[in-house]
Amino acid sequence: MKTRYTYGGDEHIYVEIGEEMSLEAFFVALSMSNAVRDANLPGVTEICPANSSFQVRFDPDVTDPEEMMAAIKQLEAFSDQAEKRLSTRIIEIPVFYQDPWTHETLMRFRERHQDPSGTDLDYAARINGYDSVEAFIEAHHSAPWFVSMVGFVAGLPFLYQLVEREKQLQVPKYLRPRTDTPKLTVGYGGCFSCIYSVRGAGGYQMFGITPMPIYDPEQKVSYLKDFMVFFKPGDIVKWKPIDRTEYDRIEQEVENGTYQPRIAEVEFDLEAFNADIAGTNAKLMEALNDA
């Protein structure tokens, strides 16, 4: 990996660790962004981590852009000592695959899709070599996912599948973006899954919907009273397939203020994961099952 530094206007510096998303690049970006934060560089107002990069916003009236660039570059030495362990949490997210709401939406926008003759799941299953939609759904929810970034719109998580690279699902975005996507749609674009935190435009393939809110600016949802955004980078997600009855039950519990996501505190070790992916995933899921 070769780090690339660029200016973003007068007030931003963008640091790209790698052109491709990888857990190694994520941990280096996390280590460097933490180093920038700990250095308390004069003028820094915001640090925004992303999948394999981060951006620093600063006040150029406090620190000259060239001086800020030089100071951040000096912190690259920390990338050689990047922490490969992370204290985090694994979260079970219920998903109603092939729900009626995303189905209605995707059918409205077939002319913008690569394959107007089928559904998004039909297309995703076929191009990934699965014989059926059910087999593709199984592949989507059978392994845990790593939240590498939160953003684009408020609260939206980007999730990277914790499997060998050759086993990762990949699905291109729509040829032209939709003007509508239901709130809490579980989508897929490139190598990333996501949850649309709000209703709006979008280009990711739509696979289902979750009844579990992940963003609440009014902070009325029981588990979002402390902070309006549920996810943070480093979280691990396990999708749980549910049917319409279970969807309606959870939605009612959210409305009643009684729903609590299933969560377990875990340690994620990158070197242990690379040495034994299946074993690491089994331990993560065991921790969730014991929660």
Q: What is the pLDDT of residue 80?
A: 66
The mean per-residue pLDDT over the stretch 276-283 comes to: 96
Taking only the tens place, the pLDDT of each residue in 170-195 is: 999 999 999 999 999 999 999 999 99
Q: Are 116 and 215 within one domain? A: yes
How far apart (Å, rounded) are the C-alpha atoms in residues 54 and 48? 5
User: Which of the four pLDDT bands, split at 50, 70 and 90, describes residue 1?
Assistant: low
How far apart (Å, rounded) are the C-alpha atoms in residues 237 and 92? 6
Taking only the tens place, the pLDDT of each residue in 3-31 is: 899 999 889 999 998 777 788 888 888 88
CATH of the domain at 49: 3.30.1360.40
Domain count across the chain:
2
Q: Are 121 and 166 within one domain? A: yes
pTM of the shown model:
0.91
**Whether residue 143 has pLDDT greater than 90:** yes
Q: Of the candidates 58, 82, 106, which is a domain's last residue?
A: 82
Q: Of the candidates 43, 59, 82, which is a domain's last residue?
A: 82
Q: Are 17 and 61 within one domain? A: yes
CA angle, 228 as apex, 50 and 21 as ends, to 5°? 15
Q: Are 75 and 93 within one domain? A: no
How much helix, strand and coil, in percent to the nearest 5, is found in the chain? 35, 25, 35
The residue range of the domain holding 18 is 4-82
How far apart (Å, rounded) are the C-alpha atoms in residues 189 and 27? 22
**Whether residue 82 has pLDDT greater than 70:** no
Q: Are 63 and 173 within one domain? A: no
User: Which of the four pLDDT bands, split at 50, 70 and 90, describes residue 81?
Assistant: low
